[in-house]
Amino acid sequence: MGADSISGLEIVRELNVRYGLNLESTILYDYPHVGDLAAHIDSLTGDVVATGATFLSSPEQHQVPLEQVRTGIMDALAGILHLEPQDLDAELTFQEMGVDSISGLEVVRECNLRFGVNLDSVVLYDHPDLDDLASYIATQMDPSHEQGSALRDGDEGALRFESQEKRVLYHDTSFVDMRGQFLQGLAQSGDNSSGTRSDARSGSAPLKAVPLASLTADPTPAAGPVLLRGSDHPRGGARKLAPGVRSQKSEAAPPLHSTDGDAIAVIGMAGVFPDADDVEEFWDNLVNGVVSMRPVPKHRWGRRNGSRTYPDTIRPALLRGIDLFDPLFFNVSPIDAEIMDPQQRVFLQVAFHAFEHAGLSEDHLDGRRVGVWVGAGMGDYQDRLAQGNIPNQSQVFAGNASSILPARVSYYLNLRGPSQAIDTACSSSLVAIHDACQALRYGDVELALAGGIRLMVGDSLYMQVLDAGMGSPTGECRAFDARADGIAMGEAAAAVVLKRHADAIADGDRILGVILGSGVNQDGRTNGITAPSPSAQAELELEVYSRYDIDARDITLLEAHGTGTALGDPIEVRALQKAFSRYTRDESFCHLGSVKNNVGHTTMAAGITSLIKVLKAIEKKIVPPLTNFERLTDKIDLDGSPFRINTEAVAWEIPEHSRRVAALSSFGFSGTNCHMVVREAL
């Protein structure tokens, strides 16, 4: 509605004065919607009925009807935000309404005056929406309190507010005008654009594309802003969880308990990849050997307006539709969505679909100890905003901070576990999954979402990799091949839902795979800060196998880091051969692969991309081919080793009475390494 931390304070003050309450200044953060706040106020006020001036003097009236409290708060908000009450969406939080730290103080002051309460200046942080705040104010009001303004003639029994001059501490007219256009647009821009957030959730008010240029005087970002499209795009159009998804809400989160083992179950997954809008399409591409590195398409990296041209050797593997997002479905205003890093938008959608795939509804997750770990780094969207002359507002800062990316998921679903962005460069997402597994093992959370994302809105990262001498001059990844000439860059976003294995079995969850164990270490001092260490890699692999009682001979698929560099690939294979030699002398039993030959190096999302490949291979019992491979480099010798390379899709055969086991690695150029072992479920 536009209520921020300042106007939120004014709302609290107005409610305290109006209803004779003593709401805390942070109340709007606990009650972020009009309905929640009104219900809370109703629970506080007993049987007193408030009017705009006085409580009705009738002795039998002792409670303020909740709807009247809500109306009073809305009236106060409208005055502070310079809007009409009907232009405010009661389903939004005060921050989403436009209440900032300055106007929030005005809101609190106004509430104190109107309702005769003494709300703390930070009450909007505890009660962040109308329903929450109204309910809280109702508990704080003195039934004998009389309002400071009088009932209008003929308005007996109605809650009215006397018009009064408001003291505005800070007022940015350009922002208010823009916000007013947006709110009026919601009410007037189309036949079905007046739906509330709950309408959007139920599917009764399908959203249409909104021309963002009509919402703001600022020019559209050069990269192409979010396209507000609803059900016609593949990721943001869902209005309800799929049929059969659990929707019951638990009364309370069950107490955490000691685990029966260290195994972690994967119970859900989702992702978007080059040439693939979901995991199934991604798997089909892998099995069919699709290579997604291609010349820069016309709609990316500034090519739309002809400002950039690229040679065909610049071949990123890019996602489709990163500008597609349904903001109101995720309780994000279109204005905020436009200036959000697409990484935040895309991962929010991926996270939603991962929980959906796990059979977990929003109600089931609400308020539970669910953690979010995401491999993510600072994107380059802010550069595009600057090119589009978008002012560097506070929304730009939050919308482009990597730390906010996992918080978007936690905020939207009201998750109460840790919410962390992990940046160890190329190993980020696998480290994020490892950290999530550890939190589950230690009992810090009961459920976890872990994954990673990398988008390249502009060409800066690609060009930096080339300039550093790490990138492939031909734009192709050829891991383990004699033609390998460097890294090829790609985009991806994916996530998995994790649960303690024993709990997943007890709850009857579908188990996609079991993470037996994982570990993280550091290269330490090498011959350069970004140079890999074969000894550190081998030590890590041996440590994981030893700690989790894993026999390397059982591993029959090895999804390597495999970046296609002349130095890194031989070092990685050498370390693996050293680690496996401690367990077996058997030869050619383990398939060696690298998904980077298909989709390039997705950096922060590399580990989760590899894990999704492994999980699908386990499900399908097929080992995809290593594409872009012709001849093994002479720097790698697989003769007499456990490893072999298949250039066609083959059945994943294992000995009778055994299960499929895979290992995967991610090595950051920061020197942070991660290794993980995944087993087929029973």
Domain harbouring 454, CATH code: 3.40.47.10
pLDDT in tens, 168-181: 223 333 333 333 34
How many whole angstroms separate alpha carbon 281 and alpha carbon 263? 29
Tell me the three state secondary structure of residue 490.
Answer: strand
Q: Are residues 312 and 446 in the same domain?
A: yes
Q: Which among 460, 476, 507 is the end of a domain?
A: 507
Which pLDDT score, from 0 to 100, does residue 303 have?
A: 56
Q: Are residues 287 and 421 in the same domain?
A: yes
| Model confidence band, residue 54 (pLDDT cutoffs 50, 70, 90) | very low
Q: Are residues 460 and 521 in the same domain?
A: no
The domain total for the chain is 3
428 within a domain of the structure (yes/no): yes
- For residues 113-142, give the mean pLDDT: 85
Question: Does the pLDDT of residue 495 top 70, yes or no?
Answer: yes
What's the DSSP call for residue 327?
A: T
- Contacts of 255 by beta carbon, 8 Å cutoff, 6+ apart: none
The stretches of 27-172 forming alpha helices (DSSP H) are 27-30, 34-44, 66-81, 94-97, 101-115, 123-126, 130-140
pLDDT in tens, 403-431: 999 999 999 999 999 999 999 999 999 99
Structure tokens at 32: 């972020």
Please check whether residue 296 is in contact with residue 303, taking contact to mean a CB–CB distance below 8 angstroms.
yes
Question: Does the pLDDT of residue 635 top 60, yes or no?
Answer: yes
Q: Are residues 328 and 415 in the same domain?
A: yes
Please check whether residue 625 is in contact with residue 649, taking contact to mean a CB–CB distance below 8 angstroms.
yes
243 within a domain of the structure (yes/no): no
Q: Which of 82, 135, 70 is nearest to 106 (CA)?
A: 82
**Domain containing residue 477:** 264-507
Question: Does the pLDDT of residue 32 top 90, yes or no?
Answer: no
Q: Are residues 560 and 577 in the same domain?
A: yes
163 within a domain of the structure (yes/no): no
- Contacts of 640 by beta carbon, 8 Å cutoff, 6+ apart: 587
| Model confidence band, residue 487 (pLDDT cutoffs 50, 70, 90) | very high
167 within a domain of the structure (yes/no): no
Q: Are residues 401 and 432 in the same domain?
A: yes
383 within a domain of the structure (yes/no): yes
Q: Are residues 419 and 270 in the same domain?
A: yes
242 within a domain of the structure (yes/no): no
Q: Which among 474, 507, 540 is the end of a domain?
A: 507
Q: What's the per-residue H, E or C state across 376-397?
A: CCCCCHHHHHHHCCCCCCHHHH
pLDDT in tens, 558-616: 999 999 999 899 999 999 999 999 999 999 999 999 999 999 999 999 999 999 999 99
Q: Are residues 447 and 322 in the same domain?
A: yes
Q: Are residues 438 and 560 in the same domain?
A: no
Q: Are residues 499 and 535 in the same domain?
A: no
| Model confidence band, residue 5 (pLDDT cutoffs 50, 70, 90) | low
Angle, vertex CA 644, rays to CA 643 and CA 650, nearest 5? 130
Q: Which among 107, 124, 140 is the end of a domain?
A: 140
